[in-house]
């Protein structure tokens, strides 16, 4: 097991959290956030191109983004981590609503220290010149969305293979990102995949509205 950044079941950003000199100097502005975020991403990209962006580095860089959010005034509240620790020795399907890019950035810092995990993502993310090498390094399951039937068959096959190998999979069962949590917009793919592979489901609900500020 890697270093667990969240050893307790619930986490809240401390009310009296101290900010660094640079945080205070820039007042957590969008310029500072974007600069620091890009710096982390470019560092990760460099490691990925050298085939050094492993699970441990993925978790660490994700946690660094988590800390950046807090340093820029973001408030974080995580509940129910005991449910993650309860399945640390078995592959599962994580099912979650998709609100912003932020969840894909911070989830690895929460999940990867406990278990091997990957995402189902759009293939265009792996082709992005900046994010592509990072995403590819973590062996995601990709879909093109040009042929929905072909994408479905690919996801079914790839997810079953990942789960059989012991790798958990994060699925966002919505057509697109949404600022509102609307269960009616969720499809049942994640549940079906878990049933076909005879693994457990870990549902998650997130609200990452901090990202909209930047």
**What is the full per-residue pLDDT of the chain (214 aa) written as tens digits?**
577 898 889 999 988 766 555 555 555 567 888 889 999 999 999 999 999 999 999 999 999 999 998 888 888 999 999 999 999 999 999 998 888 888 889 999 999 999 999 999 888 889 999 999 999 999 999 987 677 788 888 889 999 999 999 999 999 887 666 666 666 667 788 888 999 999 999 999 888 878 765 4
Place of tokens 């990942």: 162
pLDDT digits (tens, 9 = 90+) for 168-181: 999 988 766 666 66
**What is the token pair recorded at 29?**
């502005």
CA distances from 44 to 23, 34, 119, 131, 133 (A): 22, 15, 17, 9, 9
Domain boundaries along the sequence of the chain: 1-214
By three-state DSSP, how is residue 197 classified? helix
Phi, psi of 108 (to 5 degrees): -60, -35
* Span 2-35, pLDDT tens digits: 778 988 899 999 887 665 555 555 555 678 888 8
Closest of 129, 128, 131 to residue 105, by C-alpha: 131
- 179-209 exposure pattern, b = at least 16 Cβ within 10 A, e = fewer: eeeeeeebeebbbebbeebebeebebebebe
pTM of the model: 0.87
């Amino acid at each position: 097991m890697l270093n667990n950044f969240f050893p307790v079941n619930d986490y809240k950003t401390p009310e009296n959290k101290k900010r660094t000199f640079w945080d205070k100097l820039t007042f957590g502005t969008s310029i500072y956030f974007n600069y620091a975020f890009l710096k982390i991403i470019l560092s990760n990209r460099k490691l990925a191109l050298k085939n050094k962006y492993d699970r441990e580095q993925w978790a660490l860089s994700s946690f660094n983004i988590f800390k950046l959010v807090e340093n820029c005034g973001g408030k974080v509240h995580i509940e129910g981590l005991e449910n993650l620790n309860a399945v640390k020795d078995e592959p599962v399907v994580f099912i979650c609503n998709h609100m912003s890019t932020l969840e894909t950035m911070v989830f690895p810092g929460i999940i990867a220290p406990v278990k091997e995990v990957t995402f189902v993502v759009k293939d265009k993310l792996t082709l992005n010149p900046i994010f592509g090498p990072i995403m590819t390094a973590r062996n995601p399951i990709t879909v093109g969305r040009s042929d929905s039937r072909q994408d479905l068959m690919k996801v079914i096959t790839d997810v079953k293979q990942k789960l059989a190998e012991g790798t958990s999979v994060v699925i966002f069962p919505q057509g697109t990102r949404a600022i509102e949590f609307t269960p009616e917009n969720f499809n049942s793919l994640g549940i079906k995949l878990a049933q076909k592979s005879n693994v457990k489901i870990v549902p998650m609900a997130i609200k990452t509205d901090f990202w909209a500020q930047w």
